Structure 1
Amino acid sequence: MELLTPLETLCRLILRARELEAQVPALDPDEDPDNVDDIDDGEDDQALSALQDELNSGVEEEITAMLDDLADDQLAETVALAWVGRGTYDVSEWEDACAEANELDPEEAIDELMEMPLLASHLEAGLAAFDYSCEGVGQND
């Protein structure tokens, strides 16, 4: 299979999706920290708070913009790759995956990808199913 979407673009999308997936939602500022229903000595809370980042809406916006910049056939291909990587379709069903993805309007396709848990892993697995890899992509020789 020949990719319609540049491999470098797909790899950058995977990288940014990994960054988004790695983020931990911030605590709700309206939440009562002294909730008596949550029996806890508080020691773990400080250790965990060091691991929590504010959600970086910039990463989400960048991913959405990257997807929005794709041509309709490239966007459908990206959705189909994610579906293959997720196991919704097999490699042998590539044409069917592409046909279904092409039925989505661009907004639906972007929503499908943005709401997909483990998007980066699914895209990476989809690429690997067709013997593509991001290894070495974007590195200057």
Structure 2
Amino acid sequence: MKVEGKVAMVTGGARGIGKAICAGLLEEGAKGVCIVDNRTAEGQGTASELCAKHGENRAIYVNTDVTADDQFEAAFVKTKDQYGRLDIVINNAAIVDLVNYRRMVDVNLTAVITGTMLALKYMGKCHGFDGGIVVNVSSIGGLAAIANLLFRF
């Protein structure tokens, strides 16, 4: 898929890999990116930094807890309202929290499924849109066991 002129939404886009994805999309000519994250200061800072480099309104930040379905859907609506379209959804948000494992499953698994279903709702040809791409990001931990994460009894 060519990125030029497309609009993307990136969960976990305030820092790290998500921030790099947002920057890369804009460097490849994306019309805009929506940074979806719950880190307000970092998200606003990333949006400002990307706009300073790539142009006004090329990046927006939407404070979102991806485990809250209403907030997550509101990010899709805000992206479409801002840019008039949505072409790429990148489910990148993730946490490691072995103490609160339910929260970790909600962010790392359930929110990815929710994000994919919302992408279908807001981009799907079956809903009258042009279609698009969904990218679900995972670490190597999604493919193989990591010794450091084993519980010791």
TM-score in terms of structure 2 length: 0.27
Computing the radius of gyration from Cα coordinates, the structure with the larger value is 1
Higher helix share: 1
TM-score in terms of structure 1 length: 0.28
